[in-house]
Structure 1
Amino acid sequence: MILKQSGSRGFRAYTSKHLDELLKRAGLGEEDRLRIRAVATVLPFRTNAYVVDELIDWSAVPDDPIYRLVFPQADMLPAHDVERLADLLRNGASTAEINAAAHEVRMRLNPHPAGQLNLNVPRIGAEPVQGMQHKYPETVLFFPKQGQTCHAYCTYCFRWAQFVGEADLKIASDDIGQLIAYLREHPEVNSVLFTGGDPMIMGEPVLRRYIEPLLELEQLDSIRIGTKSLAYWPQRFVTDPDADATLRLFEEVVKAGKNLAFMAHFSHPREMEAATLQQAVRRILDTGAVIRTQAPLIRGINDDAKTWATMWRRQHRMGMVPYYMFVERDTGPQDYFAVPLARGYEIFRDAYASVSGLCRTVRGPSMSATPGKVCVDGITEVAGQRVFVLHLIQARDPELVGRPFFARYDPRATWLTDLRPAFADRFPFETEVQPARLSA
C-alpha cells in the first residue's frame, strides 16, 4: 500500500542542549535540573518531539515510565560523582574539565560488557575487522557507521558508550565490502544482524547500500535489523519521504529468499498505543518481514508481570512475535535499573502463565553475558539445596547450548557474575575455578 507522504521527515531531535528547558515541563527546580544535567555529561541524552509530545504523560513525571525511559535521573550515578559534576557545571568549568571528569566516571561503568571490544572481534587473516562482532558461529553483527545514533536513547541502553562521543568506545564501519569478504570466508554464518545505534535512523539509499549486496549470498538464511524505531518514530514507515522505498527494500529481501527479521524493542505497552505505530506494523508485515519483539526487564518501568503480559498479548494481536525478555546488562546505571534474578524469574513466570501458548514464543529472563545468552529456567530445591536452574540459549561453545546447569540460590544476585556454581566447582563454560571462589 502506497501512502501520500510529506516532503520532509518532520523529525525534531532534542539533545542535551535542550535538556534544561524540557525538564522545566516537569516542574523541577533549578538544583534538581542541574543534577540531571550533571548525569547527562556522562550518559547520553537524545529524544524527539514524538516521544516528548505523544508518549510521555507530563502530569505523571517523574514517575511516568516513558519519561524515565529516556530522561536521565539524578540518582543513576553515585551521589559523589553527581555532586562533583554538578559543581563543575555550577562553577562554569571548561568543557575540557567537564569531559575529563565525565570520562573518568564512564570508565567505571563497564562501557563494553561481555568483551565486546576484544572477545568478539572477527579477523580477515591477521587483521581485525572493524565494526563487526562474531560471537556465535552462525551470526555476525554489523554496526553501520551511519547508524550510530537513535531516534531517542533509552536510559538503560547497554550500548550507551556508542553515543558519548569517545572514538575509542565506538564500534562502527561503512565497509560493506569487508563484511562480504568476511562472510565468504566463513560459510558457517547464515545470519547477519544490523545493529548500532539504530540502523533505521539511516535513509533508504544508505540502508540499501548495506543490505542489497547481502542478497547475493546463498549462505545467508536471514537478515536482522535491531531497532527501536517503531516505538520512538513509527513515522519512519508511514509518512517519512522514503517510507515506501524502505518497505520496497524489505520486499526485495523477502523475494530474494531471505527471512527479514525486524527485531523491535518495546519496553512498555504505551509505546504500542498510537495509531501511527499500528499502521507502521501493518505496513512492515505486509512486506513479508517478521517482527520479533524484545526488551530488558527494567526496574521502575516494566518490572511487573501484568505489564509484560499486556505487551505480549498486544504484540501477538498485531501480528508480532514475542521473542526475548532480557536481564538488564552489567553496564551503565545497572544498579538503578537492575531487578534481582529471582524476582525477574517470578515476573517472567507469572506473565508467561497468563498468556496463551501463541505468545509463549518468548524466552527469558536471559542474560547476554560473556559465555552466551544464559536463561533462568527456574528456582527449585535439589538434594536439599535451593538453586537456580539455568541453560545457555546461545553460547560461544555450541556444545554447551541447551544443557542445564545449576547455581546456588542468591536472592540479591542481578547478573551471572553474582552467582556461584551448585554441585560443581565451576560453571560449564569456565575452564578453571575462578579465584574469588577459592576462598569462598
Structure 2
Amino acid sequence: MATVLPFRTNSYVVEELIDWSRVPSDPIYRLVFPQSDMLPESDVIRLATLLRDGAAPAELRTAVHEVRMRLNPQPAGQLDLNLPYLDSQPMPGMQHKYPETLLYFPRQGQTCHAYCTYCFRWAQFVDEPELKMASGDVENLVAYLRAHPEVTSVLLTGGDPMIMSGSVLARYIEPLLALDQLESIRIGTKSLAYWPQRFLTDPDADETLRLFERVVKSGKNLAFMAHFSHPREMETDLVERAVAALLGTGAVIRTQAPLIRTINDHPDTWSNMWRHQVRLGMVPYYMFVERDTGPQDYFAVPLARAYEIFQRAYSGVSGLCRTVRGPSMSATPGKVCVDGVAEIAGQRVFVLHLIQARDPELVGRPFFARFDPQATWLTDLRPAFADRFPFDPAAPARRISA
C-alpha cells in the first residue's frame, strides 16, 4: 500500500491517540495506517507480486504510476482549472477558484506531521513531481494580490503550513500584513490533532505564537482551519493547552473534516466532536464529503446516508454548534451542499445549493438532482426538472415536466 499511497506517522499519534487493543478497528489507526482493501484487489495483488519477486525498480515505478493515475490524483482541476496567471504568466503553487479567496502552497509546507489515509491531497506527498503544487516566491504572491484587489482572503495550505518553522512561516505571512485589501489570513492545518506540541514545547513555539499576535494586531482576522476527524483527537491535555495558546493570540479556530467510512460515519461521533470543539472555544465549520480521489471507494459514504448522518448530528447539538455546514462536496463547479431529500411533483430528489462557486451568480441558488441512494459524488447525480445543472456549460436550461 505504501508504494502507492503516502504513509507517515509520529510518536504522539502512535502513543497517545491509537488504542492498540482495538487494532485494526481503532479509528485513529485506520486514519493513519493504510489498509490492504483501500486499493482494488487486482492492484494489490499485482504490486505484492512485483515486490515479492524482486522486480526491477523501473518496473515497480511504472506499475505504481499506473495505479496512482487511476486514482484521480488531482480532482476538480487543481493543476489546470484553478491555476492563476499574472501578465500571461502562470503562478504555480497558487489556486484562485473563487474571486475573493486565493490558496497558496508554501514550498516548505508540503508535508504533514502525519498523513491521513483519506487525504485528497495525497499526490503532494508521493514521488510524482508533475502532480505537486508549491511555490517559494512570496514576491509573486504579493504581486498577484495587488493585481487582484477582489481577493480579500489568503489560505495557506499544503501539506500543512505548520510543519514550517516560525521564521519560515513569517517570511510568507509578514509581507501580507501590508496589503490593505486582505481581511483574513487562513492556515489549513492538522497540527492540533497530530502534533499539538507545535504550539507548546517545540523550540520555536513562542516565536510562532508571537507571529500570530502580530497578524491579529495588524487588523486582520487570523483563522486556523483545523482538521479534526474524530473526537479522540481532542481528548489529550496537550490539545486543550494548544487550543488555548492559539486562541490567546487572538486567532479564531474553525474546524472541518470529511465524512469517512469506518472512522466517523455515525451521527454521535459528529455531535460529540462539535460539542467538544465548542467547549474548547473552536467554531464548527464544515462536514465534507470524501473527495473523488485516492481510496474513495473505501472511504466514501453515499450522499443520502451522509445527509442523514449530518441531520441527526445537527439536530442533537445547540445553536452554537450549528455554525457547521454540510455535507459539502468540493467539486469542480464549487462547494455543493446537500440540503436534504424531498418529494416534489411526485419525484424524490436531492435538494442542493452552491456554498461557493466559480460563477458567483450561482452562489446560494437551490437546484435539484434525481435521488440516487448509491451516489457518492456530484458526477453520480442527474438533474431533476431540467436537462442540465445550472453550472453545466450548455445551452440555457430547458424546463421539462417531472
Give the TM bin, normalised by the shorter chain.
over 0.9
Equivalence for 2:89: 127
After superposition, give the CA deviation of every residue in 1:82-138 in whole Å (9 maximum; x if it has no partner).
001001111112222221110110000000000001100000111110100000000
Matched, 1:68 2:50: no
Equivalence for 1:108: 70
Please list every run of 5 or more consecutive structure 2 residues that lacks an aligned counterpart in the other structure: 396-402
Q: Distance in 1 between matches of 2:299 and 2:195?
A: 24
2:371 maps to which of 371, 391, 409: 409
Give structure 1 regions of 4+ aligned residues with deviation exceeding 3 angstroms.
none
The alpha-carbon deviation at position 242 of structure 1 amounts to: 0.5
After superposition, give the CA deviation of every residue in 1:402-435 in whole Å (9 maximum; x if it has no partner).
00000000000000000000000000001227xx
Q: Distance in 1 between matches of 2:267 and 2:167?
A: 41
Equivalence for 1:11: none
SS in 1 for 2:114: coil
Equivalence for 2:264: 302
What letter corresponds to residue 380 of structure 1 in structure 2?
A
Aligned CA-pair RMSD: 0.9
Equivalence for 2:43: 81
The alpha-carbon deviation at position 165 of structure 1 amounts to: 1.7
SS in 2 for 1:47: coil
Matched, 1:431 2:368: no
Q: Distance in 1 between matches of 2:66 and 2:371?
A: 35
Matched, 1:162 2:124: yes
Equivalence for 1:345: 307
Q: Distance in 1 between matches of 2:370 and 2:9?
A: 41
* Aligned counterparts, 1:115-264, within 5 A: 115-264=77-226
Q: Distance in 1 between matches of 2:22 and 2:268?
A: 20
Q: Distance in 2 between matches of 1:164 and 1:390?
A: 35
Equivalence for 2:248: 286
Please list every run of 5 or more consecutive structure 1 residues that lacks an aligned counterpart in the other structure: 1-38, 434-440
SS in 1 for 2:24: coil
Equivalence for 1:52: 14
2:362 maps to which of 400, 405, 419: 400
Q: Size of the alignment, in residue pairs?
A: 396
2:238 maps to which of 276, 287, 290: 276
Q: Distance in 2 between matches of 1:52 and 1:98?
A: 30
SS in 2 for 1:40: coil
The alpha-carbon deviation at position 234 of structure 1 amounts to: 0.2
Q: Distance in 2 between matches of 1:308 and 1:342?
A: 17
Query: % of aligned pairs identical?
Result: 78
Q: Distance in 2 between matches of 1:186 and 1:41?
A: 41
Q: Distance in 1 between matches of 2:138 and 2:176?
A: 9
Equivalence for 1:367: 329
Matched, 1:324 2:280: no
Q: Distance in 2 between matches of 1:88 and 1:197?
A: 30
